[in-house]
Amino acid sequence: MRKMLRKDTRIEVEQTIHALIGNGPYLKGKIIDIGQGGLAFEHSEEVDPADNSSKTLHIVTKSQDFYITGILCRVAYNIPHKIVASGKQSMRCGVRFENLNPSQHKKLSNLIVNGTFGFNVEPMPLSEQTLSL
C-alpha cells in the first residue's frame, strides 16, 4: 500500500457520489475519498487522463440532487486499483483541485464536514444524458 503525502486530510466517501472529469465526453467514476485539496475516484474507462493539463471536474450524487460543477483540477495519478466483478481492472484516479471559487469551497466544506452539499441547490446545469451514471 502506498502512503500518499497530502496537505489536507481526506475522508472516505460512503454514499454514492460520482466524479466526472473532462469537457465531454466525461471520464466518470465513483468517488473513493475527498478532502479540501483533491479527491480520488474509481473508474474502469480505458483512458489515461494523466497528461498534466488543467481539466474541469464535476461532483454529482447519483440522484443528481447535489453537485459541485466546474472545478478546475489536475490529475495527480491514474493507477491500477482492483479487479471488478466482470474481471476487468478498475483504476484509481487522484486529482488536485485548483482555485476553488467561494461557492465551490463552501459546498466542498459542507460535503466533507456534514456529508451533504448543503441546502443551496441550483438547477442541474449538465444534461441528464451526459450524466447517465
Query: For the chain, which residues make up each domain, given as ranges?
Result: 10-114
> In terms of DSSP bridges, do strands 38-43 and 55-61 run parallel, antiparallel, or are they unpaired?
unpaired
pTM of the model: 0.78
* CA distances for 56 relative to 6, 75, 84, 104, 125, angstroms: 21, 10, 27, 13, 14
The residues near 13 (Cβ < 8 Å, ≥ 6 apart) are 31, 32, 33, 34
Tens-place pLDDT, residues 13-63: 878 899 999 877 788 999 999 998 999 999 988 776 767 788 999 999 877
73 close to 98: Cβ distance less than 8 angstroms = yes
Pick the CATH number of 10-114 from 3.10.290.10, 3.30.360.10, 2.40.10.220, 2.60.40.10: 2.40.10.220
